[in-house]
Amino acid sequence: MSTLGILPHQISASTLRKTRRIHRTSGGSRSSSSIVSSASPAPSATPVMVFREVLRPAEAEGDNRMGRREAIGLGFCLNAFLLLRAAAAADEETCSLTTSPSGLAFCDRVVGDGPAAEKGLLIKAHYVGKLEGGKVFDSSYSRGSLSPSASALARPCYLCYIVLGQVIKGWDQGILGDEGIPPMLSGGKRTLRIPPELGYGARGAGCRGGSCIIPPGATLFFEVEFLGKA
């Protein structure tokens, strides 16, 4: 882009007149002068202030078109981001946990329409396990990207048995149903909040060198997606 860069400085009125004549005749075509003077008509010795750059009209128009396209694109991206944020917030608000007599709480984000899970059957399920502060300690979705000790906290539940004694009690209750909790149906997604006595208790899990992946007495949160029977 060709510009005549002029910084704010003082020039004489005679120099200003010469500059205007040059811009009217340069290139064989007239260019609209965008030089702005802050002075009223005065003797030639009176200084004036010049603040703006002189741009060719076609280039300025092109810049305006580019600015409009960029503004529209930015507005579209911002609007999409806000819609996603609003949808996520609405999803969190509509899914309130129901606490059973055992202390386990659940919330069905999606109610499945397939067969229910049965004790002793191999099922396919995805899950994300979190601590109370929101830290993920295990996830079947990102299997292999976590530390090796994370997968040892429970059976890898992409293919796992739902059998008493094979998984923590909170999983048995939360998926098979008990204590007023309905069984999960294939295709369903459920949030579980598991108290320590139905999880890893006072011992915790993954403990080594004085630290534990699941601290003793931790309340656990699971997002479970029941895909169906294996």
Active site residues: 127, 137-138, 168, 200, 222
What does the alpha-carbon distance between residue 200 and residue 164 come to, in Å, rounded to a whole number? 14
Two structure tokens written together for 74: 């930015």
Instruction: Tell me how far the alpha carbon of residue 44 is from its chain's centroid.
Output: 63
Using alpha carbons, list the distances in angstroms from residue 143 to 135, 170, 194, 199. 16, 22, 22, 21
What does the alpha-carbon distance between residue 213 and residue 29 come to, in Å, rounded to a whole number? 76
Work out the number of other CB atoms within 10 angstroms of the CB of residue 64: 10
